[in-house]
Amino acid sequence: MEVTDRNQPRRNNTVMRTAVKQVLSLIVVGITWAALATTAHAQLPAAPEPEPKSYILAYVLVFLVIALGLAAVCRPSTRSDRPRMIAEDLEEKIRQMTGKP
């Protein structure tokens, strides 16, 4: 008497389904890769990048303009003499009003 397994056809069927799924997955991955590779191959080569621009001259010019503006605004020569002159004028007017020499 020969003993046969009743589940043998099911196991073979499951193995076959798994193999078919793997093969189909590989086919889908291969087609996708081929489509992407041909797209990448068909694109134009990248243009060479231009040399980076130097902004040193522009920054130096801006710095000089700011320095000139600060020098014009904060010039101490006229600011330091002016309060002294106003004080002297006030003292002169007070002397004239009081009559003191």
> How many CB atoms within 10 Å of residue 81?
10
Which residue has better confidence, 30 or 78? 30
* pLDDT of res. 37: 76
Answer whether 95's CB lies under 8 Å from 101's CB.
Answer: yes
Mean pLDDT of 4-22: 72
Is the pTM higher than 0.75? no
Q: Which of 41, 38, 42 is nearest to 30 (CA)?
A: 38
Answer whether 68's CB lies under 8 Å from 62's CB.
Answer: no
* pLDDT of res. 65: 96
Tens-digit pLDDT profile for residues 40-55 = 666 677 778 888 888 8
- What are the Cα distances from residue 7, in Å, to 2, 11, 12, 20, 35? 15, 6, 9, 20, 42
Q: What percent of the chain has pLDDT over 70?
A: 72
Residue 68 banded pLDDT, cuts 50, 70, 90: very high
Residue 101 banded pLDDT, cuts 50, 70, 90: low
Residues in the chain: 101
Q: Which of 75, 74, 71 is nearest to 63 (CA)?
A: 71
